[in-house]
Structure 1
Amino acid sequence: MQKIIRQLAAEIKVTEQQVRAAVELLDGGATVPFIARYRKEVTNGLDDVQLRELEARLAYVRELEDRREAVLKSIAEQGKLTDALRAAIDAAPTKQELEDLYLPYKQKRRTKGQIAREAGIEPLADLLFTDPTRVPADEAQAYVKPAKGEDGSDFTTTGAVLDGVRDILSERWAEDAALVQSLREWLWNEGLLKSSKVEGKNENDPDVAKFRDYFDYDEPIGRVPSHRALAVFRGRTQEILEAKLVLPEPPEPGKPSVAEGRIALHLGWSHAGRPADDLIRKCVAWTWRVKLSLSTERDLFSRLREEAEKVAIKVFADNLRDLLLAAPAGPRVVMGLDPGIRTGVKVAVVDATGKLVDTSTVFPHEPRRDWDGSLHTLGRLCEKHGVNLIAIGNGTASRETDKLAGDLIKLLAKVDRVVEKVVVSEAGASVYSASEFASQEMPDVDVSLRGAASIARRLQDPLAELVKIDPKSIGVGQYQHDVNQSELARTLEAVVEDCVNSVGVDLNTASVPLLSRVSGLSASVAKAVVRWREANGAFANRQQLLGVTGLGAKTFELSAGFLRIRHGDNPLDMTGVHPETYPVVEKIIEKTGKPVAELMGRADMLKTLKPELFANEQFGVITVKDILGELEKPGRDPRPDFKVARFNDGVEDIKDLREGMVLEGTVSNVAQFGAFVDLGVHQDGLVHVSQLSHKFVNDAREVVKTGDIVKVKVMEVDVERKRIGLSMKLDAAPARRDGPRDNRFEGAGRHQQAGAGRRQAEAAAPSAMASAFAKLQSRSR
């Protein structure tokens, strides 16, 4: 265990004591949010990001150690475990390097090299390699067999014997861990990922055309961005693209390749015209072409996919975090509009608590075109329930429905009623509508109307509503169906847990899905909490949680600090102060002579207090500072203030866009290469990373995040391909029609890499990626 702790401390760049404390807490059942928030003293301030990394690496390293023990045991049982080999295995830092070392000892089916060794040819192989002055044909005569073996092996000629020499040497070299790792790292840095269209595929086929930027594409494999790697792998899976790893310099006809040269260099051999040198050259070539080229390609493709998936999963996680922590409109009466054309616009009104109070369906669009009747119905609902905010789903007919809401707002303004409208993402709303939980929440409501209610609630509190949906259905990912699904699910679940606990949960209003995300609360305990609430009324204090079936002292410890009770018996119960530290607050009360209700919010008084005066052996200065911070801003919400984006009138379709227009929009998705912005025209525009700021930007998230409201200039519009090029540099000039075009929408443009003379795809988003990503952003659910 000490070895694991030492390794994790080095990786995360913290002390061994911090790692040891965190591991003990995690192994004891503590959650990451609880440790990050309430055990800072124990871990010396490890935050949730460090703890999540530690948790993931701990699982990996433990699996590695288990595998290491199994490998050592297997080799020892074969009687082949030397001190040097044990030391190498003990030092292997990754699973792959461990498997490289184990490869020669792994049980496998009989190979040609093994058959040759069983036939006694290995001494000849050793002789010819160590002393190339020997004549292979002459030396092989002594190893020729008079007849075939019982197993079918045939060494009855000198040619067959020398083939056996080749098989023995190539197999031995291909299992040389140092050689394999050296070639792998060299090709990762120098090799090229090359893709081309599968012969016979029709370029005009829409499914094939999406990948046209990869019909003749190559790029250094170690520098391929995540989105391009996943695009190539998707094209290969769909049998549209062929992908292969190619050497940085193609071999000249009849001459050894660079890879073969590196193998020879590793072996310490070079061709000197000796009798056996031609045979050894053939063995080296065979080692690369037959034994190592395909396995190395497979290993590096796996590495590329794994690293690309990590980036894609991080993009999804970051966007999900931004969406969950988006500004809540708060307790306002909201009308949700779920746009539709022939089926009508579904309408749902929820009160300030999120309770569904009314529903309707209006038909302002084709075929009925009942615009005035729709306005009358919506106006009546607004007057009846005091609606002051309209949430419009961004699906089919969203822009037309947004215009309807605009006309409604103008009519209501004539009677001095102020109403605002917001277009919100409805991704996943249909998943929620058909879910078991939705049927329990709204049992007598049509499935389509449930979606409108969910859209309204998303505006009131995005976090509380979106936790009811599988995170993968929220639609803010990049190639989300191409990545490791279990790792994606694990990461997204962690994001949801962290977001819920960073905001806190109202114990008396939270739904079961929201409660089940609270630190320490399982789905069954969350249901028990709601049952207790329904049977006994609102919780008056946190201590009553101990009366809930299945909620014991440990669960209370992990969850209580994240559960809020407003207007309860104890004002501290509405804050993030944990019940275990209430005695510390009592000391503060004693020192100041003020009751807790008068202390809360009094920053002027609290800032004069010295944390050292209230610290003890159990709760140190760090914890006391957190308590004082909570008392200064009791019940604070870390989310930003609510703002509304204003879409321009007359801009309802991509055809309405003109180069040079300055518009306001909402950032709908962020990737490393840029940000997608919803302008209300059914197709998101792309602000490439180079157009986000006048300063250099490496990652778009340095400048924007999902949900931000931004002003952008239209740089280029491609109606046919549904591409919108945007810039946040409002003084930038639109693309010239008569000059060189910005090729970010024209695919993977090439430029010569200085000194290398090889083509490399530019850093901008290629059309295959953009097309696939655009599907993620499509307006239909």
Structure 2
Amino acid sequence: MDQKSIKKHIADELSISFKQVDASISLIEEGNTIPFIARYRKERTGELDEEQLRTIEDRYHYMRQLNQRKDEVLRKIEELGQLTDELRGKIEGAIKLQDVEDLYLPYRPKRKTRASIAKEQGLMMLAEKIRTTEDPHVIDEEAAAFLQPEKGIESVEDAIKGAMDILAEELAEDADIRKWVRFYTWENGCLVSKTKDPEARSVYEMYYDYSEPVKKMPSHRVLAVNRGSKEDILKVKVEVEEEMILKRLSNWFPTEPHRYTQLIIQDSYKRLISPSIEREVLARLTEEAEKQAIHIFSENLRQLLLQPPVQGKMVLGLDPAYRTGCKFAVVDDTGKMLEVGVIYPTPPQSRVKEAKEAILTLIDRYPIEIVAIGNGTASRETESFVAEVMKESKRQLYYLIVNEAGASVYSASKLAKEEFPDLDAARRSAISIARRLQDPLAELVKIDPKSVGVGQYQHDVAQKQLGESLTQVVESAVNFVGVNVNTASTALLQYVSGISSSVAKNIVKKRDELGHFQSRGQLKEVPRLGAKTYEQSIGFLRVFNGENELDKTPIHPESYAIVEQLLDSIGLTPTEITSDAGKHKLNQLDIKHTAQEIGCGEPTLKDIVEALLRPGRDPRESLPAPLLRSDVLQLEDLKEGMQLQGTVRNVVDFGAFIDIGLKNDGLVHISKMSERFVKHPMNIVSVGDIVDVWVLSVDTDRERVGLSMLSTERE
């Protein structure tokens, strides 16, 4: 398949034009990043978004690998002298790697098998007679001619058995047969799990005697069963009704079935085909389950990263613990650490009075407005303590629980040590918790995305694919929001389109030399930030209060001349853009006509106008603000039918976990999310959403709360 054919295949597969695929692949091969192409090359791609561009990139790489494998397989079969025109045509026409491997299977070098031994014994002719002869008595007679005691064929039965082994292997290696059996097993098979010890207690008890159709099994159950199998608690297999399969296999023989062909079919399926296809089906189940789990983790991470920042607020961050005490950090509205320390309001010390005095002193000393409490060990006890302190405070305060996943990873990292060399890991963690509230994106990028904890079974999926997917999500989020080049950390800068970790360090070093950047153009002076890197990154880097007002917008410098033409065409000066009259003119602009007039693409002009109307706007502002609380909720306070408001903390295949202010998040099952059918919880909620819920059930022993988003559940 040549390059043009590959691109046409991808276009047909994704239902987009050949021109879009061709342009996208060309741009990628020219060294452009996906965020850059999606934002600044819309005219060439027909406004494809990042997800579509990444799919094109993935499919293109797959098809190239497929081509390489085809060439390799053709070469190997040709070297064996067995490449026919028909086989060449089948291999060249294959569109899946699996199909190529099926076609190559009969020619693949293998260890000695019963069939290969039989071939060495000269039983190929007898095998062909068995395959084409209708009368088994004739076979019995002719088999006598193949007796060779010196080669181990001492009887007619030995000869027939060897010939049957040859046919069983040929049947099992027939590409069309394998393809059909694989499809039939996927469509009609059931995954069955059993336990080795029915009396043993474990988290896998629901799978001790379990069966579910393969094609309907959701990813979270697949991964749960896989984990149970790895822990040697469950035995897993795929079962399928064999009658139709055996009937299909009998069609491989040109004659009506007789006792020998029936035995061959049974042996081929039971010994060779079934175990192999079962492994393939289980592998596909796992692959698709992992893909879904990675997708869920990625979507949740994106929503978490894009939580709106709580700007202009001084925050008190608390990292709760029992024995080592509750670490605190006061952070000003710019994220600067002002004071750190430790209090002991929880057991075993329970120095509550002393802790209260310490917090009240901090509140008097600093204009703290919000308390951010990490959701780890002793979180709810600390929450109760904070609620009591707030009642004694003269100032109105609010608190909220912050997901502290990965905070300990950050606090022990090299980056954290560089930021706060004089503090221990626990105090760094308290600072991180406070900053997560002020700007989740800027703080969370300092942590390995896999440690953020907003998925399911993330430790059971392919870690390489998970890491790559999550890195792409972080890059996408960072470039979507944009980065203030004068305040960004190296951790944040290295996720900007085109910028490596070494260039990010050089930007910070240059910033320290200059005091701050006055314009985007000054970034050209940064060592190793060449012309290509500048082109890819500069639109995502913002310079506020600089020499050029456009430098704080997502407008790329390559389009500054277009902005000048636009303003000139509608009679606006740069200072009039944000005036009511200027906004009115921009809102009334005929995009199509103006784009033709100034020689600009419509998508680019549309983005420019949007940026001029909202210069310096943070796209996260449109998302719901965090839910702040002023009093604590106890499990004992809950009654069935009670209405509450909560924050979505995690979305999984079977529902969503909601923080309603308790120690453990409540669960809204997918069936309780909407009156209509819900294909997946992500179609209804996202991480960070503020939702109204009603209490369905309260399990005080296990501290679990069942919730519903259906208003019909109210009292």
Q: Which of the five TM-score ranges fits, normalised by the shorter chain? A: over 0.9
Aligned partner of 1:558 in structure 2 is 536
Which of 137, 141, 160 is 1:138 aligned to? Answer: 141
Q: Deviations over 1:451-506 (max 9, x none)?
A: 00000000001001000000000001211111111111110000000000000000
Question: Which residue is 1:466 aligned to?
Answer: 444
CA distance in structure 2 between the aligned counterparts of 1:167 and 1:599, rounded to whole angstroms: 83
Residues of 2 paired with 1:617 and 1:650: CA distance? 60
Name which of 402, 411, 423 aligns with 2:392: 411
Deviation for aligned residue 1:614: 4.3
Aligned equivalent of 2:586, options 596, 603, 606? 606
TM-superposed deviation, 1:258: 3.9
CA separation of 1:625 and 1:644: change in aligned 2, threshold 3 A: closer
1:561, CA displacement in angstroms?
Answer: 0.2
Match runs of 1:458-607 below 5 Å: 458-600=436-578, 602-607=582-587
Q: C-alpha deviations, 1:420-439, integer Å up to 9, x for none?
A: 21111000000000000000
More helix by share: 2
Matched, 1:231 2:232: no
Question: In structure 2, what residue type is equivalent to 1:454?
Answer: S
Query: Aligned partners of 2:492 and 2:174: how far apart in 1?
Result: 53
On the 8 A contact 2:653/2:680 being kept in 1, the answer is yes
Spell out, residue by residue over 1:733-772, the C-alpha distance to the aligned partner (whole angstroms, 9 max, x if none).
Answer: 79xxxxxxxxxxxxxxxxxxxxxxxxxxxxxxxxxxxxxx
Structure 1 residues 532 and 647: CA distance shift in structure 2, 3 A: closer
Give how far 1:267 is off. Answer: 4.0
Does the aligned pair in 2 maintain the 1:197–1:241 contact within 8 Å?
Answer: yes
AA matched with 2:175: A
Q: Does 1:241 align with 2:223?
A: no
Rounded Cα–Cα distance in structure 1 between residues aligned with 2:252 and 2:309 = 62
**Equivalent runs, 1:393-408 vs 2, <5 Å:** 393-408=374-389
Counterpart selection for 1:259 from 223, 245, 262:
245
Counterpart in 2 of 1:726?
707
Q: Distance in 2 between matches of 1:618 and 1:266?
A: 66
**Greater alpha carbon shift after TM alignment, 635-644 vs 230-239:** 635-644
Q: 2:625 aligns with which of 622, 633, 643?
A: 643
- Count of aligned pairs between the two proteins: 708
> Cα RMSD (Å) of the superposition?
1.8
2:190 and 2:637 map into 1 onto residues whose CA distance is 42
Query: Could you list the per-position Cα deviations for residues 54-90 of structure 1 after superposition, in whole angstroms to 9, with x for gaps in the alignment?
Result: 1222222221111111111111111211121111111
Amino acid at match of 1:576: P
Deviation at 1:164, TM superposition (A): 0.9
Question: Is 2:129 the partner of 1:147?
Answer: no
TM-score, normalised by the number of residues in structure 1: 0.88
Q: Which position in structure 2 is the counterpart of 1:81?
A: 83
Q: Say whether the 8 Å CA contact 1:399–1:652 is kept in structure 2.
A: no
Secondary structure of 2:547's match? coil
Residue among 676, 682, 703 paired with 1:695: 676
State the alpha-carbon separation in 1 of the partners of residues 161 and 51 from structure 2: 56
Q: Any conservation in 1 of the 2:131–2:253 contact (CA below 8 Å)?
A: no
| C-alpha displacement of 1:381 | 1.5
Q: 2 CA distance for matches of 1:102 and 1:617? A: 58
One-letter amino acid matched to 1:214: Y
Task: Report what 1:291 is aligned to.
Answer: 272
* Cα distance between partner residues in 2 of 1:296 and 1:641: 47
Does residue 431 (structure 1) correspond to residue 409 (structure 2)? The answer is yes
Distance 1:562 1:500 in 2: 8
The structure-2 alpha-carbon separation of the partners of 1:464 and 1:108, relative to structure 1 and needing over 3 Å to count, comes to same
Q: C-alpha offsets along residues 148-180 of structure 1, whole Å, 9 cap, x if unaligned?
A: 3xxxxx212111111111111001010100000
The gaps in structure 1 that reach 5 residues or longer are 149-153, 252-256, 272-276, 735-781
Q: SS state of the match for residue 712, structure 2? A: coil
- The 2-side partners of 1:469 and 1:38 are apart by 29
**Counterparts of 2:29 and 2:325, CA distance in 1:** 54
Q: Measure, in 2, the Cα distance between the counterparts of 1:618 and 1:306.
A: 48
Which residue of 1 is the match for residue 114 of structure 2?
Answer: 112
Task: Report the CA distance shift for 1:552/1:270 in structure 2 as closer, same or farther (over 3 A).
Answer: same
> Matched residues in 2 for 1:260 and 1:600: separation?
76
* Map of 2:292 onto structure 1: 311
Q: Select which of 154, 158, 178 maps to 2:176.
A: 178
Matched, 1:712 2:712: no
- Give the AA of the match of 2:53: L
Any residues of structure 2 matched to 1:626-637 within 5 Å, and which? 626-637=607-618
Does 1:54 pair with 2:56?
yes
CA drift at 1:609 = 2.7
Moved more, 434-443 or 53-62: 53-62
CA distance 1:102–1:617, change in 2 (3 Å): farther
1 CA distance for matches of 2:588 and 2:275? Answer: 69
Q: CA deviation at 1:720?
A: 3.6
Equivalent residue letter for 1:8: I
State the shift of 1:617 in Å.
Answer: 9.4
Counterpart of 2:65 in 1: which secondary structure? helix
Q: Distance in 1 between matches of 2:102 and 2:519?
A: 59
SS at match of 1:147: helix
SS in 2 for 1:93: coil
Task: Give 1:535 deviation, angstroms.
Answer: 1.0
Q: Tell me which residue corresponds to 1:767.
A: none
Q: Which amino acid aligns with 2:122?
A: G
> Which residue, out of 371, 378, 399, partners 1:421?
399
Counterpart among 615, 634, 637 of residue 652 in structure 1: 634
Tell me, yes or no, if structure 1 residue 219 matches structure 2 residue 221: no
- Preserved CA contact (<8 Å) 1:685 1:724: yes
Aligned pairs for 1:58-73 (under 5 A) are: 58-73=60-75
Deviates more, 1:311-320 or 1:393-402: 393-402
**Paired AA for residue 584 in structure 2:** D
Matches of 1:338 and 1:145, distance apart in 2: 82
Secondary structure in structure 2 of the residue aligned to 1:731: helix
Stretches of 4+ aligned residues off by more than 6 angstroms: none
Cα distance between partner residues in 2 of 1:618 and 1:526: 35
Q: Secondary structure at the match of 1:335?
A: strand
Aligned to 2:421: 443
- Does the 8 A contact of 1:336 with 1:347 survive in 2? yes
How many angstroms apart in 1 are the aligned matches of 2:433 and 2:118? 71
Contact 2:136 2:259 in 1 (8 A): no
Show CA shifts across 1:185-209 (max 9, x none). 00100011000002x46423xxxx2
Q: Which runs of 5+ in 2 are unaligned?
A: none
Q: Look up the SS of the partner of 2:713 in the other structure.
A: coil
Indicate the percent of aligned positions where both proteins have the same amino acid.
44
SS at match of 1:404: helix
Give the deviation of 1:576 after TM superposition: 0.4
Is 1:195 matched with 2:193? yes
Scaled by the length of structure 2, the TM-score of the pair is: 0.96
Name 1:33's counterpart in structure 2: 35
Q: Provide Cα deviations, 1:128-162, integer angstroms capped at 9, x if missing partner.
A: 221222522211000111323xxxxx212111111
The answer as to 2:283 corresponding to 1:281 is no
Cα deviations by residue, 1:662-706 (Å, 9 ceiling, x for unpaired)? 222211110232111122322222111110112221111111111
Contact 1:518 1:559 in 2 (8 A): yes
The answer (yes or no) to whether the contact 1:195–1:242 under 8 Å persists in 2 is yes
The CA distance in 1 between the partners of 2:575 and 2:256, in whole Å, is: 85
**Alignment equivalent of 1:663, drawn from 644, 652, 656:** 644
